[in-house]
Amino acid sequence: MKLLIATDMEGISGVVNWDQVRPSHSEYVRSRKIMTGDVNAVVEGALRGGADEVIVADGHNNGYNILLEELDPRVRLHTGNAAPLAMVQGAGDDIDAAMFVGYHGRAGHPLAVLSHTWDPHILNVWLNEFLVGESGINAAVCGYFGAPLLLVSGDQGLAEEVSALIPGVETVVVKYATSYFSAECLPLSESWERLRKGAEEALRRFKRGGGPQPFLLTSPMRVTIEFSLSSQADSAMKMPGAIRLDGRKVQAPASDALAAYNLFRTLVQLSSI
């Protein structure tokens, strides 16, 4: 049983501010250590639960945040920028299931720390009729390869968002958002115990044939993005097949979830300001 653990940083234990996830800020040094600790706890639980092989993908910013020297030596780490599958590099036909660690709520979430969807100038993203954040976008890629999302960790806002999209997903709350920039945080020992336990239980459930189904969307798909500026929508309209739904909203067709992922990232790049 091969598991992909895809990671981000905004949903890591103790993180509530952009400074904590920016390499240029002194606080970032602490966040890298804590991120590695959150990941190690999930690895420990997953291996106890019966995973045979684990690959960890470092998905925040430039993709080099996790400290290899402190990472559990039983796993491999994918690190670096511009990997073909970005935040879910490692997803493929050989992956049986996925877990997302340190994730955050979608752009515009009413109560989630540092909520955003890929780029600060994106207001909303829909895959077909589903309003999604990064968790939904990345779960769809794993689903394309037949791998269900077994667990997510972050704040309670993220937990609610993913549970609504993927029934049965194990959610591990490591902090309770009180605003975009604040949260009540658990002691690390408690966060890591929750992560270990959650990962072990999710894995055991999966091995018994239970837990969530892969997040599958009907093909052909529609990717819809609402940008913050109409000038971004102008730029996104260069995409062949794109239609303008309104001043800020562009929609384009994709043959399947993998094509939709590539299309989404291309539209984001085209429209970047």
Of the residues 60, 104, 116, 121, only one is catalytic, namely 116
- Smallest gap from Cβ 150 to Zn ion, in A, equals 21
Q: Is 50 helix (H, G, I), strand (E, B) or coil?
A: coil
Distance CA 248, CA 254 (A): 20
Tell me 15's DSSP state. Answer: -
Alpha-carbon dihedral 94, 97, 99, 104, rounded to 10 degrees: 90
- Interface region with Zn ion, contact rule CB under 5 A, candidates 4-12, 70-78, 159-167, 230-238: 4-12
Which residue lies nearer to Zn ion by CB, 101 or 217?
Answer: 101
Is there binding between residue 32 and Zn ion (CB under 5 A)? no
My answer on whether omega of the bond before 220 falls inside 30° of 0, hence cis, is yes
Nearer to Zn ion, 63 or 143 (CB): 63
> Over the range 205-224, which residues count as b (16 or more CB within 10 Å of their CB) and which as e?
bbeeeebbebbebeeebbbb
Chain centroid to Cα 143, Å, comes to 13
Query: 254 by DSSP, 3-state: which?
Result: strand
Instruction: State which residue has the least CB distance to Zn ion.
Output: 60
Of the candidate spans 23-31, 60-68, 89-97, 257-265, the one that interacts with Zn ion by CB under 5 A turns out to be 60-68
104 is catalytic: no
Q: Which stretch binds Zn ion (CB under 5 A): 53-61, 74-82, 205-213, 239-247?
A: 53-61
Is residue 119 at the binding interface for Zn ion, with CB under 5 A as the rule?
Answer: no
Q: Three-state DSSP class for 80?
A: coil
Cβ proximity to Zn ion, 7 vs 251, nearer residue:
7
Task: By CB under 5 A, name the one of 36, 51, 60, 261 that touches Zn ion.
Answer: 60
- 212 backbone dihedrals φ, ψ, rounded to 5°: -70, 155
Q: Which is nearer to Zn ion, 58 or 96 (CB)?
A: 58
Residue type at position 260: A
Q: According to CB under 5 A, which one of 8, 119, 161, 200 is a site residue for Zn ion?
A: 8
Q: Closest approach of Cβ 125 to Zn ion, in Å? A: 15
* Count of residues that bind Zn ion according to CB under 5 A: 4
List the interface residues with Zn ion, window 153-192 (CB under 5 A): none
Q: Please report where in the chains the tokens 């996925």 appear, as a residue.
A: 98
Which residues are known catalytic residues?
116
Chain residues in the site for Zn ion (CB under 5 A) = 8-10, 60
